[in-house]
Amino acid sequence: NDNANWARSDKYHNSFLTKPDEGLEHALKSSSENDLPQIAVSTAQGKYLWLVAKTIKAKRVLEVGTLGGYSTIWFARALPEDGKVVTAELSQKHADVARANFEHASVSSKIDIIVGSATETLPKLQTEPFDLVFIDADKESNAIYYKEARRLTRPGSVIIVDNVVRNGRTADPELSTPDVVGVRTLLQAIKEDEGVEVTTIATVGEKHYDGFTYILVL
Ligand code: SAM
């Protein structure tokens, strides 16, 4: 079927392009064993995030939505020894699974987890600017996360928002589910923001049809 086709396609490309990483594989396995939802980024997307972090020589990354820490480990792998990923997660259980996965992948020293709703924890965050922000939590709060990401970045920083296409549902006028409305509100906020340049790239792969919005802070 269609999904098996795209999963096979991702696997095929990955087999040439991405070396297996035991720490990352363990994170997915332990997330599944602990009954976390299987909604981490795909391997190819994780590698893409790693490439962006490397390309911009990121030292500080902010992530909203940790889950079992799969994407977090990708970021940590891209950072220098003194780099830091700050990752915000609502669920104590998810944070606990992620913490164990960071230990297993030997990246704990590079990662701080903030447990609680990021809608409340991010506004309290007072830190030096982040080079890269990855927004991948509850989609209805996207506009809040965007506002905080803008406050916590500087010109040249990159903000990436995941799951903005939703198999085309975001643009379907018949639909108004909270996730879709969350993305539309984000797009409107970006439109009104003169301090950024942005595009949405739609993607297909083992995680079906979706896409991400790539924002450069001017
Ligand atoms: N970035 C992860 C990865 O690719 O490995 C996947 C994150 S998953 C799509 C979304 C996560 O956001 C879930 O673990 C969920 O518990 C968390 N979440 C939901 N609402 C949240 C909130 N208000 N604040 C922080 N995290 C939240």
Domains assigned to the chain: 2-156 (3.40.50.150)
Nearest CA owner, ligand 1 atom 13: 67
Q: Quick one: which atom of ligand 1 is closest to the CA of 45?
A: 4
Place of tokens 């606990």: 96
Res. 2: pLDDT tops 90? no
Mean pLDDT of 97-106: 98
Contact, 70 vs 80, CB < 8 A? no
Q: Which residues of 136-163 are buried (b: 16+ CB within 10 A; e: fewer)?
A: bbbbbbbbbbbebbbebbeeebbbbbbb
Confidence of residue 83 (pLDDT cuts 50, 70, 90): very high
Rounded to the nearest angstrom, the distance between the alpha carbon of 24 and the centre of ligand 1 is: 17
Q: Is 67 in the pocket of ligand 1 (CB under 6 A)?
A: yes
Q: Quick one: which atom of ligand 1 is closest to the CA of 117?
A: 24
Which tokens sit at 188?
Answer: 């409107």
Confidence of residue 122 (pLDDT cuts 50, 70, 90): very high
Residue 53's pLDDT is what?
Answer: 99
Contact, 47 vs 18, CB < 8 A? yes
Residue 3's pLDDT is what?
Answer: 87
pTM of the model: 0.98
Question: For residue 90, what are the contacts with CB-CB under 8 A and spacing of at least 6?
Answer: 115, 116, 117, 118, 137, 138
Res. 195: pLDDT tops 90? yes
Cα 161 from Cα 102, distance rounded (Å)? 23
Q: What is the ipTM of this complex?
A: 0.99
Residue 107's pLDDT is what?
Answer: 98
Mean pLDDT of 125-130: 98
Res. 93: pLDDT tops 90? yes
Q: Is 136 in the pocket of ligand 1 (CB under 6 A)?
A: yes
3-state secondary structure of 75: helix
pLDDT digits (tens, 9 = 90+) for 154-170: 999 999 999 999 999 99
Cα 86 from Cα 92, distance rounded (Å)? 16
Res. 1: pLDDT tops 90? no
Residue 157's pLDDT is what?
Answer: 98
Residue 130's pLDDT is what?
Answer: 99
Which tokens sit at 32?
Answer: 């599944």
Rounded to the nearest angstrom, the distance between the alpha carbon of 1 and the centre of ligand 1 is: 29
Cα 149 from Cα 160, distance rounded (Å)? 10
Mean pLDDT of 60-74: 99
